[in-house]
Amino acid sequence: MAMLRAVAEGRAVMSSSCEPDLFIDGVPCCDQMTAHILAHRGFLKTAADGFTAELTAGGRAAIGLTVAA
């Protein structure tokens, strides 16, 4: 949940490789396996800029954020 909240707060970047690595506040995330799982299961993704991490609708729902209609 903390990883998803950091992404929601705009504090994360992510590599766009087949096993995406997550960096929070410029530091590599200590649990890359969880970061890979969150990406592969569709909770977060790399934004259009190619490096910023962003939540998907599933990620927003997981942490209780509402989606503006």
| pLDDT tens digits, 5-43 | 999 999 999 988 888 899 999 999 889 999 999 999 999
Mean pLDDT of 40-54: 93
Mean pLDDT of 1-8: 94
Residue 53 or residue 67, greater confidence: 53
Bridge partners of 27, per DSSP, are 24
Q: How many H-runs (helices) and E-runs (strands) does the chain carry? A: 3, 5
Question: Has residue 46 got a pLDDT over 60?
Answer: yes
Separation in Å, CA 14 to CA 1, 31, 36: 16, 13, 10
Decide: helix, strand or coil at residue 46. Answer: strand
- Comparing C-alpha atoms, which of 42, 47, 60, 37 is closest to residue 14? 47
pLDDT at 69: 40
